[in-house]
Structure 1
Amino acid sequence: MHEPGGHHGEGKLAPLLLAALGVVFGDIGTSPLYAFKECMNPEHGIDLSTANVYGILSLLFWAMVLVVSVKYVIFVMRADNGGEGGVLALAALALRGTEGQPRTRWALAALGLVGASMFYGDGMITPAISVLSAVEGLEIVEPGFHRWVLPITIAIIIFLFAIQKHGTAVIGRFFGPAMVLWFTTLGVIGIFNIIEHPSVLVAIAPWHAIAFLHEHGFASVLVLGSVFLVLTGAEALYADMGHFGARPIRIGWFVLVMPGLLLNYFGQGALVLEHPAAIRNPFFLSVPEWATLPLVLLSTVATVIASQAMISGAFSMTAQAIKLGYLPRMRIQHTNEREIGQIYVPLVNNSLLVSVIALVLMFKSSSALASAYGIAVVTTMCMTSFLVYVVLRRVWGVRKLYARGLVFVFLLLDLSFFVANAIKIPDGGWFPLVIGAAAFTVLATWERGRQILFERLRELSIPVDAFVEAIAAGPPPRVQGTAVFMTSIGDAVPAALLHNLKHNKVLHERVLLLTVRILDVPHTIADERVTVAPMQQGFARVEACYGFKEDPDVDEIMHAAARKLGFEYDLMDTSYFVSRQTVVPTSMPGMAMWREKLFAWMQSNAALATDFFKIPINRVVELGSQIDI
Structure 2
Amino acid sequence: MNASADHSLEPNRPAEAVRFRALMLGAIGVVFGDIGTSPLYTIKEAFSPHYGLSPDRATVLGILSLVFWSLVLVITVKYVLVVLRADNDGEGGIMALAALAQRRLSADSRMAYAVGILGVAGVALFLGDGVLTPAISVLSAVEGLEVAAPDLHAFVLPVTIAVLLALFGLQRFGTHAVGKAFGPVILAWFLALAVLGCHNILANPDVLHALEPIWAIRFFVTHGWHGILVLGAVVLAVTGGETLYADMGHFGRRPIATAWNCLVLPALTLNYLGQGALVLDNATAVANPFYVGVPRWALYPMIALATAATVIASQAVISGAYSAAQQAIQLGYLPRMAVRHTSRASIGQIYVPTVNWMLMLAVMATVVGFGSSTALATAYGVSVTGTMLITSFLWIVTVSGRGSRPGLGFWLLACAFVLVDTAFLSANLAKFLDGAWFPIAFGAVVFALLRTWRRGSRALQSTIRSQSIDLDALIAGLSACPPLRVAGTAIFLTSQEGVVPNALLHNLKHNKVLHAHNVLLTVASCPVPHVPGAARLEIEALGAGFHRAIVRFGFMDTPDVPLALAQSGDRCDLEFEPMQTTYFASRESIVASSRSCMPVWRDRLFRLMHRNAAPATDFFRIPNTRLVEMGSPIAI
**Same fold, TM-score > 0.5, yes or no:** yes
Question: What one-letter code is carried by the residue in structure 2 that aligns with 1:7?
Answer: D
Equivalent in the alignment of 2:322: 315
Q: Mapping of 1:475-514 within 5 angstroms?
A: 475-514=482-521
Partner in structure 2 of residue 467 of structure 1:
474
Distance in 1 of aligned mates of 2:429 and 2:89: 35
The residue aligned with 2:566 is 559
Q: Distance in 2 between matches of 1:550 and 1:273?
A: 53
1:5 is matched with 4
Change (3 A) 1:557 1:357: same
Structure 1 segment 122-521 matched on structure 2, within 5 A:
122-395=129-402, 397-399=404-406, 401-521=408-528
Counterpart secondary structure, 1:44: coil
Paired letter, 1:475: P
| TM-aligned CA deviation for residue 14 of structure 1 | 1.3
CA contact (8 A) 1:45 1:219 kept: no
In 1, distance between residues paired with 2:568 and 2:498?
17
Cα contact 1:4–1:78 (8 A) shared by 2 = no
SS at match of 2:518: strand
Deviations 1:364-394 (A, max 9, x none): 1101100000001111111111111110111
- Matched letter for residue 445 of structure 1: T
Q: Which residue of 2 aligns with 1:80?
A: 87
**1:151-178, Cα deviation, whole Å (9 max, x unpaired):** 0000000000000000011110001000
Which residue of the partner structure matches residue 544 of structure 1?
551
What's the offset of the Cα at 1:219?
A: 2.6
Q: CA RMSD in A?
A: 1.4
Structure 2 distance, partners of 1:535, 1:301, is: 60
After TM superposition, give the deviation of residue 589 of structure 1 in Å. 5.5
Relative to structure 2, which stretch is displaced further, 30-39 or 96-105? 96-105
Q: Structure 1 CA distance, aligned partners of 2:421 and 2:458?
A: 33
Query: What do the CA deviations read for 1:157-213 (whole angstroms, capped 9, x no partner)?
Result: 000000000001111000100011000110010011111111111111111101111
Distance 1:225 1:264 in 2: 20
Partner-residue secondary structure (3-state), 1:544: strand
Structure 1 residues 242 and 191: alpha-carbon distance in aligned structure 2, compared to 1, 3 A threshold? same
In the TM superposition, what is the alpha-carbon distance from 1:627 to its structure 2 partner? Answer: 1.4
Please state how far the C-alpha of 1:487 moved relative to its aligned partner.
Answer: 0.9
The alpha-carbon distance between structure 1 residues 398 and 187, as it changes in their structure 2 partners (threshold 3 A), is farther
Q: Residues 586 and 593 of structure 1 are in contact (CA less than 8 Å); yes or no, is this contact kept in structure 2? A: no
Residues 1:40 and 2:47 aligned together: yes
What secondary structure does 1:541 align onto?
Answer: strand
How far apart in 2 are the matches of 1:43 and 1:195? 30
Q: Distance in 2 between matches of 1:281 and 1:100?
A: 52
Partner of 2:127: 120
TM (norm. structure 2) is 0.97
Question: Conserved in 2, the CA contact under 8 Å of 1:132 and 1:365?
Answer: yes
CA distance in 2, matches of 1:368, 1:102: 43
Alpha-carbon distance between aligned partners in 2 of 1:72 and 1:436, rounded to the nearest angstrom: 23
Amino acid at match of 1:443: L
Match of 1:532 in 2: 539
Q: Is the contact between residue 43 and residue 286 of structure 2 (CA under 8 Å) also seen in structure 1? A: no
Gaps of at least 5 residues in structure 2 are: none
- Write the distance in 1 (CA, Å) between the matches of 2:622 and 2:57: 67
Whole-angstrom distance in 2 between the partners of 1:568 and 1:235: 46
Q: Which moved more, 1:402-411 or 1:208-217?
A: 402-411
Distance 1:385 1:464 in 2: 45
Q: CA separation in 2, counterparts of 1:334 and 1:77?
A: 27
Task: Choose which of 579, 600, 606 in structure 1 pairs with 2:607.
Answer: 600
Q: Secondary structure at the match of 1:588?
A: coil
Give the secondary-structure state (helix, strand or coil) at the position aligned to 2:450: helix
How big is the shift at 1:105? 2.6
What's the counterpart of residue 31 of structure 2? 24
- Deviation digits for residues 540-570 of structure 1 (CA, Å, limit 9, x no counterpart): 1111111110012122222234632223321
The ranges of structure 1 where at least 4 consecutive aligned residues each deviate by more than 6 angstroms after the TM superposition are none
Distance in 1 (alpha carbons) for counterparts of 2:190 and 2:550:
49
Q: C-alpha distance in 1, partners of 2:611/2:210?
A: 59
Partner-residue secondary structure (3-state), 2:527: coil
Structure 2 letter corresponding to 1:246: R
User: Match of 1:196, SS?
Assistant: coil
> Bigger shift: 58-67 or 491-500?
491-500
User: What is the distance in 1 between the residues matched to 2:347 and 2:403?
Assistant: 30
Deviation, structure 1 residue 398: 3.9
Which whole-Å CA distance do the structure 1 matches of 2:478 and 2:313 have between them?
Answer: 60
User: Aligned partners of 1:188, 1:530: CA distance in 2, in Å?
Assistant: 56
- Output one character per residue of 1:452-486: Cα deviation in whole Å (capped at 9) or x when no partner: 11111111122222211111011111111100001
What's the offset of the Cα at 1:222? 2.6
The answer to whether structure 1 residue 581 and structure 2 residue 588 are counterparts is yes
Amino acid at match of 1:333: R
CA distance in 2, matches of 1:530, 1:569: 13
Alpha-carbon contact 1:94-1:395 (below 8 Å) kept: no
Deviates more, 1:565-574 or 1:537-546: 565-574
Task: Report the secondary structure of 1:535's partner residue.
Answer: strand
Q: What is the Cα deviation at residue 406 of structure 1?
A: 2.3
Residue type of the alignment partner of 1:118:
L
CA-CA distance at 1:331 after TM superposition: 0.8
Q: 2-side partners of 1:217 and 1:126: how far apart?
A: 30
| Percent of aligned pairs with the same amino acid | 50
Aligned residue number for residue 598 of structure 2: 591
Q: Structure 1: how far apart are the matches of 2:400 and 2:597? A: 33
Report the Cα distance in structure 2 between the residues aligned to 1:97 and 1:27, rounded to whole angstroms. 32
Amino acid corresponding to residue 291 of structure 1 in structure 2 = A
